[in-house]
Structure 1
Amino acid sequence: MKKIGFLSFGHWTPHPQSATRSASDVLHQSIDLAQAAEDLGVDGAYFRVHHFARQLASPFPLLAAAGAKTSRIELGTGVIDMRYENPMYMVEDAGAADLIADGRLQLGISRGSPEQVVDGWKYFGYSSSEDDPTGAAAARGKTELLLQLLEGEGFAEPNPRPMFPNPPGRLRLEPHSEGLRQRIWWGAGSDQTAIWAAEHGMNLMSSTLKNDETGEPFHVQQAKQLRAFTDAWDTERWGFEPRTSVSRSIIAITSDEDRRYFLGGGDHEDQVGMIDESTRAIFGRSYTDEPDVLIEQLRHDEAIAGADTLLITVPNQLGVDYNAHLMESILTHVAPALGWR
């Protein structure tokens, strides 16, 4: 059995052929898609976070609203860029959203991906040093503080004359959601950051992009990353078994509409390039074909085989009904033959 979820980048554009022409459209349709996915038996609804873009940005109002409208499906992010975050406020928002969802949040966090603007986190009031020009160290420091706060231990000195009575001892941030600490995922771009995630007690989230560290096919490198994470995990220390997820673009062609949109398109080979001046990256291929062909192709993807959770990217601008159809096609025509269901 493998958990299967969708990952939406939440694009919107004021174009007549887009089903999401405004931020309002994409927010409401994201909630509707989570509901539709739950009805189909999909395990997770995950949303990307991008700032300064016509995409989903502030995740917690969306996660809380989706949590109130659904009852079973996991709700998560993939990923929140920690360079932009205040860990104190984030803990309060996350705790509230998780309580509304009855403990179904799965929060993917990371240093983030290439941005729409130069050093965007600085506009949010955060700075970097000469030793940390990309903000990577700051993102890790904020993550360590976030994890500490999620433990729920008191740390703040109470006012001797409070407006309302305090419980004894130092105070923690409220509301506290028990168990959320074990549902934090780190989006790792390299083997070393995957090991760092294990050392800090986070689950592993690996996307369709990672550092090209060996020159091997993407799925082989990603499978090695998953093994590096698992080897570094200390169950006795953290008290739970970790989860691992990988993301893929998978389209099962089962209708004439699918053929019009996707047949003959997509990247059927891995792509390699530079994402900044010093980082050579590899971007995993897409899988777009008839179900029987897809099944044979996916059998050989080592990373999908090694992960317990598969997140399938969806073309959200095609609307809720069509994206529900795409997910149903995978669940019905592909997943059973591969032992995912």
Structure 2
Amino acid sequence: MKKIGFLSFGHWTPSPQSQTRSASDAILQSIELAVAAEELGADGAYFRVHHFARQLASPFPLLAAVGAKTSRIEIGTAVIDMRYENPLYMVEDAGAADIIAGGRLQLGISRGSPEQVIDGWRYFGYAPAEGESDSDMARRRTEVLLEVLRGKGFAEPNPRPMFPNPPGLLRLEPHSEGLRERIWWGAGSNATAVWAAGLGMNLQSSTLKDDESGLPFHIQQADQIRAFREAWTAAGHEREPRVSVSRSIFALVNDRDRAYFGYGDENEDKIGFIDEKTRAIFGRSYAAEPDVLVEQLAKDEAIAEADTLLLTVPNQLGVDYNAHVIEAILTHVAPALGWR
């Protein structure tokens, strides 16, 4: 059995070829797709966060709205860039969104990815401490977030408050019990996956990672997952961790599918550089007739290792088509692979 959800980047463009032409379209259609996915029996609705881009950027209003419109589906991010976040304010927003959703929030966070602007977090008023890199800053903020999510008091109360305080040090409110165990780290390398395991975060691994061995992407990703699980065991955590991987997967079941995705020019891994120093490997996409797709996906070692699969959806093709993409996987592919 495997949890299957979708991951939307929430792109929008005013092009007449796009079904998502404005920020309003992107946000409202994201809510509609989450509702449709729940009705189809999918397990998760996840959203990517990018700043300074025509994409989804402010996750918590969206997560709260999805939580209010649905009742069962997991609601998450993959991922929020911690270089841009005030971790204390984020705890309040996340706690409120999780309460609205009835404890269904699965919050994916990360150091982030290449940006639309140079050092965009500086425009938000943030800067690394002396001797710190932006990656260090993201990880430091993550540790603050995790500690505050425990719900323990840490702030000295005013002796003459406007309203009566409970005894002792004060915590941030609203506190959502259990959210601390539903934080995921989007790891781009084996080392950061191990670091996340030590802190008791679940693992999200996307369609790209550092090229650390020259092996095919799915094998490198499976190695990353195994390293994460070994580190989790070594850390002595009591609960079982969650692991998700992202994939672009399209079952070609009609002529429209074939017209959109039947070209087959992304069926191999690609190598590139995500900055001047980091060589990365980008995982292939899958697009084939269902029986062929089943054979291909059965050989993907990382999907086999993960308990959760996030299907990256082409959101600009509209809600109805993306619901069809999800339904085709749930109906024609997942049962044959034992995921359902």
- Aligned-partner residue type, residue 31 of structure 1: I
Q: Structure 2 CA distance, aligned partners of 1:225 and 1:186?
A: 13
CA separation of 1:264 and 1:307: change in aligned 2, threshold 3 A = same
| Map 1:307-318 → 2, pairs under 5 A | 307-318=306-317
| Map 1:45-60 → 2, pairs under 5 A | 45-60=45-60
The number of aligned residues is 340
| Map 1:218-297 → 2, pairs under 5 A | 218-234=217-233, 237-297=236-296
CA-to-aligned-CA distance 1:188-213 (integer Å, 9 cap, x gap): 00111000000011000000000000
Q: Which residue of 2 aligns with 1:319?
A: 318
Q: Which residue of 2 aligns with 1:113?
A: 113
Q: Which residue of 2 aligns with 1:15?
A: 15
CA-to-aligned-CA distance 1:225-253 (integer Å, 9 cap, x gap): 00000001048843311100000000000
- Aligned-partner residue type, residue 62 of structure 1: L
Instruction: Note if contact 1:95-1:174 (Cα within 8 Å) is conserved in structure 2.
Output: yes
- Structure 1: segments with no counterpart, 5+ residues: none
Q: Structure 1 CA distance, aligned partners of 2:273 and 2:34?
A: 34
- Aligned-partner residue type, residue 180 of structure 2: R
CA separation of 1:120 and 1:172: change in aligned 2, threshold 3 A = same
CA separation of 1:8 and 1:154: change in aligned 2, threshold 3 A = same
Instruction: Note if contact 2:129-2:137 (Cα within 8 Å) is conserved in structure 1.
Output: no
CA separation of 1:10 and 1:196: change in aligned 2, threshold 3 A = same
- Structure 2: segments with no counterpart, 5+ residues: none
Instruction: Note if contact 2:12-2:23 (Cα within 8 Å) is conserved in structure 1.
Output: yes
Instruction: Note if contact 2:198-2:235 (Cα within 8 Å) is conserved in structure 1.
Output: no
CA separation of 1:152 and 1:237: change in aligned 2, threshold 3 A = farther
Q: Which residue of 2 aligns with 1:217?
A: 216
Q: Structure 1 CA distance, aligned partners of 2:93 and 2:220?
A: 35
| Map 1:117-196 → 2, pairs under 5 A | 117-129=117-129, 131-133=131-133, 135-196=134-195
CA RMSD of aligned residues (A): 1.1
CA separation of 1:50 and 1:236: change in aligned 2, threshold 3 A = closer
Instruction: Note if contact 2:197-2:235 (Cα within 8 Å) is conserved in structure 1.
Output: no
Shift of 1:274: 1.3
Identical-pair percentage:
76
Q: Structure 2 CA distance, aligned partners of 1:197 and 1:212?
A: 19
Q: Structure 1 CA distance, aligned partners of 2:239 and 2:171?
A: 24
Q: Which residue of 2 aligns with 1:100?
A: 100
Q: Structure 2 CA distance, aligned partners of 1:31 and 1:77?
A: 14
Shift of 1:277: 1.1
Secondary structure, counterpart of 1:311 in structure 2: strand
Secondary structure, counterpart of 1:233 in structure 2: helix
- Aligned-partner residue type, residue 230 of structure 1: R
Q: Structure 2 CA distance, aligned partners of 1:14 and 1:265?
A: 27
Shift of 1:286: 0.3
Secondary structure, counterpart of 1:238 in structure 2: coil
Q: Structure 1 CA distance, aligned partners of 2:263 and 2:58?
A: 35
Instruction: Note if contact 1:14-1:21 (Cα within 8 Å) is conserved in structure 2.
Output: yes
Provide the TM-score with structure 2 as the length reference.
Answer: 0.98
Instruction: Note if contact 1:271-1:283 (Cα within 8 Å) is conserved in structure 2.
Output: yes
Instruction: Note if contact 1:235-1:241 (Cα within 8 Å) is conserved in structure 2.
Output: no
Does residue 39 (structure 1) correspond to residue 47 (structure 2)? The answer is no
Q: Structure 2 CA distance, aligned partners of 1:199 and 1:237?
A: 9
Q: Structure 1 CA distance, aligned partners of 2:265 and 2:227?
A: 30
Q: Structure 2 CA distance, aligned partners of 1:74 and 1:239?
A: 22
Q: Which residue of 2 aligns with 1:61?
A: 61
Q: Structure 2 CA distance, aligned partners of 1:147 and 1:61?
A: 21
Provide the TM-score with structure 1 as the length reference.
Answer: 0.98
Q: Which segment drifts farther, 214-223 or 121-130?
A: 121-130
Q: Structure 2 CA distance, aligned partners of 1:226 and 1:216?
A: 15
Instruction: Note if contact 1:266-1:288 (Cα within 8 Å) is conserved in structure 2.
Output: no
Instruction: Note if contact 2:49-2:78 (Cα within 8 Å) is conserved in structure 1.
Output: yes
Q: Structure 2 CA distance, aligned partners of 1:187 and 1:121?
A: 18
CA-to-aligned-CA distance 1:80-117 (integer Å, 9 cap, x gap): 00000000100000000000000000000000000000
- Aligned-partner residue type, residue 19 of structure 1: Q
Instruction: Note if contact 1:50-1:56 (Cα within 8 Å) is conserved in structure 2.
Output: yes
Q: Which residue of 1 aligns with 2:330?
A: 331
Q: Structure 1 CA distance, aligned partners of 2:125 and 2:291?
A: 51
Secondary structure, counterpart of 2:221 in structure 1: helix
Q: Which residue of 2 aligns with 1:303?
A: 302
Instruction: Note if contact 2:49-2:80 (Cα within 8 Å) is conserved in structure 1.
Output: yes
Q: Structure 2 CA distance, aligned partners of 1:235 and 1:310?
A: 25
